[in-house]
Structure 1
């Protein structure tokens, strides 16, 4: 008895399945051979491109290989034109999905390599690759999805136009969220600060712990976590203390009015000598600044050669101790915050009694 199944006899179906199995086996074998060859080659080289190629080829799905084999085998069968067209479109869609998968793995692998290589010297790479990787992978899948829809006869021009109109409506509804998103990209690209930087925003100071698509998180001096929206953060004045190379220090001292003019002239030289004695300090200037309410005021300016706050405090402490000792040796008293009031009438009466 001669059987006909969907317009083809069992022999035709058997040959088509044999062709599909043979093609699938060949493709699977070639995939394994190429990957093993590339792995041996990659182990002997320092470049990352061959390692990335291994990752991309390893992402080849076995279902994709099977479907490609079935598509090739289907050419042996006598199928209606509509069925052949549908199989062709399905095969193209499967190929596009596999190419999208290769692209996704390639982008992700390259950004991971970039982040690993740069993270030691540039901690901003963690944030940059996270945001840019998300955008790049989303773009890859969006492009291939549109190509698949176009392959099935969908008018993507109308679809893109509709998405544009819908995008405008969504953008108006999500202005704040999109503002934070674009601010995140500005932080990533412009890098006013990176994770690990110590910054001050208005009256809040702390270390940057996380930069996300919507918020940035700072660990405050009191141990609390402070969360800023990215748009609010970029709208504020940010002081990045991590990028300081030196510290310019201005401080003043006051001495009593009772000192002699020789001591007044000697004080700037003493201040210079004390500051220059500190290895981490570079003397700038010292001047008799003003006549204060209860003291003669001197101003000192010096540069700390490092940005470390602890080093600055050590230097300032050493200067204060040295000034205390030198002024004691020279008999120069520090001023107390007091005022002396002279009464003219009482003084005149005292003069008449004399």
Structure 2
């Protein structure tokens, strides 16, 4: 902006001083008014955004407002080039410093809110490390920007920091890998304390999430320890976040069961399962000729992820199926190995035990031993 009069005139200095004082007072008034409005909104409807904005604006320094006011007032004066450069650099430095103070205030407010809503000590420790690193990066970037603003060549410094950072990262890559994996667990939350998870052939409840390791309490009471980096590279099954359980079981019916009863079995099972309010029946089908049984597959969905309740429901369903088969005289299959001795008069193709029974004959059984399930 072109100055109105030479800087040596008294009127120009008075105008510049008035602009500096007036703009500073106006910015201070806007700051106070905005903070008061944000606090009122936060009291009416509590929200993190209003609280964060209020705390950030509360960290606005009057010296920053004064530097901006002086810079605006200097625009109305004719100053030597070196003086203009000094004023502008001071104003830019004040702006950078105020921006980093706002960012730091926002990070500290976020940390306070996070600590108030989380009781897990391990998660708090991880969050403290994360917030410290974020603040360190913020202040480092601001420091480099201020050096560059005052004319220092920061290229060599940045290159040195980069080389040093690479050397430190290579020397501590395992530790840093587990540390960043811990931060990833904290932010992404694939599991939390108390969740029951399965990782490979290990399963148990999450007992501790630390900076380097995560520990599970196995079903046998033993403690299973994973490094955070290895844990995130594995496939994790989180059973606590299960919405429902899909349950499938097989009913083995004896060979020789009449086809009319075979056709009724799916309807009988459907009626038993559908009678419960906590399950959704899916299907029941005769799906396989087994070595010693006729196999029916039954599938239903239990509406709760609770394992104990699921087992209670399955216990009741299987018991009711057993009672129903007793009433209908449907025989469960038993694993048997039957050996027959054929006679020359037997027709080719063999025989069935229930066919011989209807004919009044007895099948010659040489051996009957139970087989494995």
TM over 0.5: yes
Match of 1:111 in 2: 111
Q: Which residue of 2 aligns with 1:78?
A: none
In structure 2, the CA distance between the partners of 1:49 and 1:300, relative to structure 1 (3 Å rule), is closer
Q: CA deviation at 1:319?
A: 0.7
CA contact (8 A) 1:215 1:230 kept: yes
- Give how far 1:257 is off: 1.6
Which residue does 1:164 correspond to in 2?
Answer: 162
Partner of 1:195: 193
Structure 1 residue 164, shift from structure 2 partner = 1.1
Deviation at 1:275, TM superposition (A): 0.9
Q: Which residue in 1 is equivalent to 2:280? A: 282
CA distance in 2, matches of 1:126, 1:45: 30
Change (3 A) 1:146 1:214: farther
C-alpha separation in 2, matches of 1:149 and 1:209: 47
Residue 107 of structure 1, CA deviation: 1.9
* Structure 1 unmatched ranges of 5 or more: 1-33, 60-95
Aligned to 2:270: 272
Q: Which residue of 1 aligns with 2:300?
A: 302
Once residues 112 and 237 of structure 2 are traced to their aligned partners in structure 1, the CA distance between those partners, rounded to angstroms, is 30
> Unaligned stretches of 5+ in structure 2?
1-31, 60-95, 347-360, 363-373
Contact 1:196 1:209 in 2 (8 A): yes
CA separation of 1:342 and 1:44: change in aligned 2, threshold 3 A? closer
Specify which structure has the higher proportion of helix. Answer: 1
Could you list the per-position Cα deviations for residues 113-166 of structure 1 after superposition, in whole angstroms to 9, with x for gaps in the alignment?
14535x59xxx9868844542322232444466679889998654333212112
Counterparts of 2:132 and 2:210, CA distance in 1: 12
Alignment deviations for residues 199-228 of structure 1 (CA, whole Å, 9 cap, x no partner): 100011122233334322223223333221
- Equivalents in 2 of 1:185, 1:176: separation in Å? 14
Choose the corresponding residue for 1:313, options 304, 311, 314. Answer: 311
Pick closer, same or farther for the CA change 1:226–1:98 going to 2, 3 Å. Answer: farther
The aligned counterpart of 2:258 is 260
CA contact (8 A) 1:127 1:211 kept: no
Asked whether the equivalents of residues 196 and 208 of structure 1 are also in contact (C-alpha less than 8 Å), the reply is yes
Of 303-312 and 102-111, more deviation after overlay is shown by 102-111
1:50–1:185 Cα change, 3 Å = closer
Q: How far is the alpha carbon of 1:313 from its aligned partner?
A: 0.7
2:329 alignment partner, one of 313, 328, 331: 331
Aligned partners of 2:126 and 2:210 also within 8 Å:
no
For the Cα contact (< 8 Å) 1:293–1:339, is it kept in 2?
A: no
Matched position secondary structure for 2:205: strand
Is the 1:272–1:285 Cα contact (8 Å) retained in structure 2? Answer: yes
- Distance in 2 separating the partners of 1:114 and 1:46: 19
Distance in 1 (alpha carbons) for counterparts of 2:248 and 2:129: 42
Q: TM-score, normalised by structure 1?
A: 0.63
Q: Which residue matches 1:241? A: 239
C-alpha distance 333-242 of structure 1, shift in aligned 2 (>3 A): same
TM-score for the superposition, normalised by structure 2: 0.60
Partners of 1:56 and 1:102 within 8 A in 2: yes
Matches within 5 A, 1:1-354: 47=46, 104=104, 106-114=106-114, 116-117=116-117, 129-130=127-128, 132-143=130-141, 156-345=154-343
Tell me the secondary structure at the aligned position of residue 231 of structure 1.
helix
* CA gap 1:208/1:127 in 2 versus in 1, 3 angstroms: farther
Equivalent position SS for 1:319? helix
Partners of 2:125 and 2:336 lie apart in 1 by 56
Count of aligned pairs: 282
CA RMSD of aligned residues (A): 4.4
